[in-house]
Every structure is written in structure tokens, then in C-alpha cells.
Amino acid sequence: MPNRAFLPIANREDLERLIAEGIEESLTLEYKASPSLCRESKQIDELCKDVSAFANSAGGQIVYGVAENKVTHKPERVDEGVLDPKVTREWIEQVLLSRVNPRMQGIKVDRLDLGNLTYGYCLTIPPTSVGPHQAPDKRYYKRYDLQSIPMEDYEVRDVLRRSTTPSLRVNLTLGGVLSYPIVLENSEANAELIPIKVSILNESETPAFHVVTNVLVSSEYSVTTVHTKFDQCGVRSRTERLPDMRILRTTIASPPGVPVFREADPDIHLAGFYLSLTQSQAKQLRLLIDVEVQVRAPGFSSVEYWALYKQGRYLTVAPPGSAMALDANTQ
């Protein structure tokens, strides 16, 4: 399964970096003190509950070996490590395999050397495609407000649909990179073409045979779709959230094309177009461009709000949920 952007956590130095940078807990990251990872029945049940909650939600990481501030939810220090020598990576994997149903797939357990023959652990948990997963108390849990809480019936049904319908996401880049140089300011050309590349990924075991992707860009910017897989489909009138937006559409249809499989190379379903920047637009000190991406397939629908913004002499991608994307799409 294509992983989301999990943090690289493999040793004590990585934990110290999290502390130095003040990376606080989130829906996809939780810190736990080492004593909470032990062979007591209550703690084993808590381990299973927390891991299943991450799998039933968006995935994430649980880091054992870090003392956190209970108010700010930021890491404070690396603790003394797991003391019980019988708590090993194999033991953790066996507990999860035997006490969570159905069995979870793709979980990675890393042992973190804390020095002086002590260890912490990092559990990296992908979102489930075979769940939902039931904890030992016969309940289903999800991540909410930095906690593991019971799921509502409709939420259980929603996770069940993951195993029978595609789960698609978009990767948007500028010609394959996140920051693209703007050279127009020092050029005699009237406009510069910025390549916008869009690829579709599938996080479900169920392939997508027909996918329609709409990319909407603020209409004050021109676009070029000649010799690309995108078609221009007019302009959507201004909404409460966004200005007038140009609609660009690309379609995946199988047959005759290739379905979107989970294991597929992202470049198989790569499409693009060109965003045209004029001299005056390129010279703006605060260039912030709205981008809306709609993906639709049988059993699946999503809308994401991206943005492109100027950072020095570069145009940079702001993904959904980032401060710049929220700023662009709420003006």
C-alpha cells in the first residue's frame, strides 16, 4: 500500500530531533512512555485498542520511549526505555496478530536503540484496506481528538466499504517537483508555462476501472492543454469559498486503458497541463493560486483544496490541510 508521509523514526537521534523541533501529537502521531508497553493484561488491551484505532482511521505512528507534556502534547525527553526483556518486536507483532480481528496488514515495528542497552519502539500503522479491526473488548475504535474512541455504526460501515471500493488519492506536483523555478522575471518572454502534473493512486485492494479527475484553477490564470491528457471544460462560477475556476478534466477508462491498481506505478496514470504566468503575475510578491481537485469513481468521491504559492523565485505546491492551502481557499 502506498504509505502516507510517515515520520522517519529509527533511533534515539530521531527522537531527539522530534523533541528539538517540538513535533506535537496529532491524529497520526502519538507519544507513549515506555512503561505503557508491558505484558500486563490492561496494557496489552490498550496496545491493541490504539493500534486498531490508527488502522481504522488514517493510519499513523505510536512512539514508545518518549515522555510528553500532557498540556501541549509535545515530547519533552527520551525516557528510560522498555525494561522488560521479554517485550520484543516479535512479541508486539504476535500480540497484534492474535488479539486484533481481522488481522492487520502492513504494520511495521521498529526497535529504537536508546543507549545503555535500553530500547524504545515505533509502530507505523497504515490505514486498513481489510478492516475495520476489532479490539479485544469486541469494540471498534478510531482516532479522534488525540484519543482512541469507539466508532459509530455508520463509521464501521464506511471502513467496511474500503475493502469493496477504491480508495483514491491525488499526487500533484510541478513537473515532478514541489518547487519550480520562475525565470520569467529575468526573461523577455511574455509568459512562462508551468507544468502541472497529476497522478492518481489507489490505497484499496479494489481496482478503479473508471475515474474522472477534475482540476479547477483560478480563472485569472491561463492554461494550455495541447498535447496533454486534460481537456478544458469551461468555467465554474464563483462560489462562497472560491473565485471563478477553470475546469480541466482527465478520464481513466478500462477497458481499453489500465485500471488503477494499488500496486501500480504512479506514472501509469500521470496526466498534466500547463499553467501560464504573465510577466505581471510572475512579479507579484504574494502570488497565491487556488487549486481544487475532484476525484470520482464508482463508490468513491473526494474533493481536495490545494494551492500554489510564490516562495522567492519558486512556485511551490501547498498540499491539502497546509496553512497556505487553507489561506488560499478561504479568502
Residue 222 has pLDDT above 70, yes or no: yes
Q: What pLDDT is recorded for position 180?
A: 92
Domain spans of the chain, in order of start: 12-162, 168-328
Q: How far apart are CA 52 and CA 33, in angstroms?
A: 19
Half-sphere exposure of 19 (CA within 13 A, CB side): 16
What CATH homologous superfamily does 12-162 map to? Schlafen, AAA domain (3.30.950.30)
Averaged pLDDT for residues 143-165: 84
- Which pTM was predicted? 0.56
Percent of the chain at pLDDT > 70 equals: 94
User: What pLDDT is recorded for position 83?
Assistant: 87
| DSSP SS3 for 162 | helix
Q: Quick one: pLDDT at residue 321?
A: 77
**Judging by beta carbons within 10 Å of its beta carbon (0-12, 13-18, 19+), is residue 183 exposed, middle or buried?**
exposed
Q: What is the pLDDT of residues 31-49, one digit of tens each?
A: 999 999 999 999 999 999 9
| pLDDT tens per residue, range 177-196 | 999 998 765 555 677 889 99
Q: What fold does the segment set 168-328 form as a domain?
A: Immunoglobulin-like (2.60.40)
Residue range 262-317, pLDDT digits in tens: 888 888 889 999 999 888 888 887 788 999 999 999 888 899 999 999 888 889 99
